[in-house]
């Protein structure tokens, strides 16, 4: 019986990061077949968001979207205008996960936000302190490194 590797973080995982910090965890992911920079990992949210830059960058059109009827409220307490929803493949190393992104029409310094459902599907753990996402694939622990320079 194979025992899966334990996913965790230690002080060694801080090597290469600027400490101390309060930076968000921002990574590069392959979304819809393209490497997309400035993807924020938000483990406190269930909403996977696509912002206008990514929507335009992937050359998506309104006909590519399906309706999304729930309300989304911004951090400022305002209702956000939703364009719809789209399912895209998100690749992390060899792992490919389908993600339903809510497409919104609002400015963000990020191209997209991935959230708890993506982490859970990937069976990954993230750490803003260590600026990493770790996940197991084929018995190995793989890492996605955050990019603090993108956040700053």
What is the full DSSP assignment across the chain? -PPPPPP---GGGGTTS-SS----EEEEEEETTEEEEEEEEETT----EE-HHHHHHTT--GGG-B---S--B-TTSPBPPEEEEEEEEEEETTEEEEEEEEEE-S--SSSEEEEHHHHHHHTEEEETTTTEEEEEETTEEEEEE--HHHH-
Number of structural domains found in the chain: 1
Q: Is residue 8 part of a domain?
A: no
Q: Is residue 108 part of a domain?
A: yes
CB-hemisphere CA count at 13 Å for 36?
28
| pLDDT at residue 55, as a whole number | 92
| pLDDT at residue 99, as a whole number | 95
Contact 134, 26 (CB under 8 A): no
**pLDDT (tens digit, 9 = 90+) per residue, 3-62?**
778 899 999 999 999 999 999 999 999 999 999 999 999 998 888 999 999 999 999 999
Q: Is residue 9 part of a domain?
A: no
**pLDDT (tens digit, 9 = 90+) per residue, 91-150?**
998 899 999 999 998 888 999 999 999 999 999 999 999 999 999 988 899 999 999 998
Q: Is residue 11 part of a domain?
A: no
Which residues form the domain of 77?
Answer: 21-151
| pLDDT at residue 1, as a whole number | 62
pLDDT reading at 2 higher than 80: no
What is the CATH classification number for the domain harbouring 124?
A: 2.40.70.10
Q: Is residue 7 part of a domain?
A: no
pLDDT reading at 75 higher than 80: no
Residue 75 structure tokens: 């951090």
| pLDDT at residue 14, as a whole number | 96
Q: How far is CA 40 from CA 23, 114, 116, 131, 148, in A?
A: 11, 6, 12, 11, 11
pLDDT reading at 86 higher than 90: yes
């Amino acid at each position: 019986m194979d025992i899966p590797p334990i996913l965790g973080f230690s002080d060694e995982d801080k090597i290469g990061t600027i400490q101390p910090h309060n930076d968000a965890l921002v990574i590069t992911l392959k979304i819809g077949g393209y490497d997309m920079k400035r993807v924020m990992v938000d483990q406190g949210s269930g909403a996977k968001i696509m912002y206008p830059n990514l929507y335009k960058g992937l050359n998506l059109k309104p006909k590519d979207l399906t309706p999304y009827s729930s309300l989304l409220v911004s951090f400022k307490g305002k209702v956000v205008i939703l364009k719809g929803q789209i399912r895209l493949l998100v690749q992390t190393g060899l792992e490919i996960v389908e993600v339903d992104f809510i497409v919104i029409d609002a400015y963000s310094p990020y191209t997209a936000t991935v959230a708890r459902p993506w982490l859970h599907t990937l069976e990954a753990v993230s750490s803003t302190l260590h600026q990493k996402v770790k996940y197991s694939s084929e018995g190995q622990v793989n890492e996605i490194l955050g990019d603090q320079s993108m956040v700053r």
